[in-house]
């Protein structure tokens, strides 16, 4: 069983920055891929970024490339998302997830989710 708790969301002006954190608990966390997704009202949950088990490999969707950075600290069981140059279209609830699948961009392949943290970017 894995439990995930996100934090760090809030209200920020366009161009600002936020750092999201995901505190994980459970067995085998250092052996799984972890990722951030987001979901805006009326839209499907969409992939943002993922990191490999050791954190040595990261992948982010094109719309956040160069602005968002994902990282993890396995010693602390933490996952992070550094978000810079935020835009109003980044407004969403952000979720961290754990997957045992190689198909990391589909939310259907994730076994565990946190409750989410709201990010609101004002123009």
Segment 36-93, tens digit of pLDDT = 999 999 999 999 999 999 988 999 999 999 999 999 999 999 999 999 999 999 999 9
Report the distance separating Cα 95 and Cα 59, nearest Å.
16
* Contact in structure between 117 and 22 (CB atoms under 8 Å): no
The counts of H helices and E strands in the chain are 0, 11
* Contact in structure between 122 and 14 (CB atoms under 8 Å): yes
Segment 1-27, tens digit of pLDDT = 899 999 999 999 999 999 999 999 998
- Mean pLDDT for the stretch of residues 99-121: 96
CA-closest candidate to residue 25, choices 77, 83, 89, 68: 77
Report the distance separating Cα 71 and Cα 31, nearest Å.
15
């Amino acid at each position: 069983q894995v439990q995930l708790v996100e934090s760090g969301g809030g209200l920020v002006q366009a161009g600002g920055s936020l750092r999201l954190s995901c505190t994980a608990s459970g067995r085998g966390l250092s052996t799984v891929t972890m990722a951030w997704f987001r979901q805006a009202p009326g839209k499907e949950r969409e992939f943002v970024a993922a990191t490999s088990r050791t954190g040595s490999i990261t992948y982010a969707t094109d719309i956040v490339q160069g602005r968002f950075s994902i990282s993890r600290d396995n010693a602390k069981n933490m996952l992070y998302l550094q978000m810079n140059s935020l835009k109003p279209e980044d407004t969403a609830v952000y979720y961290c997830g754990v997957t045992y699948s190689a198909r990391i961009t589909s939310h259907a392949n994730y076994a565990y989710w946190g409750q989410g943290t709201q990010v609101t970017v004002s123009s």
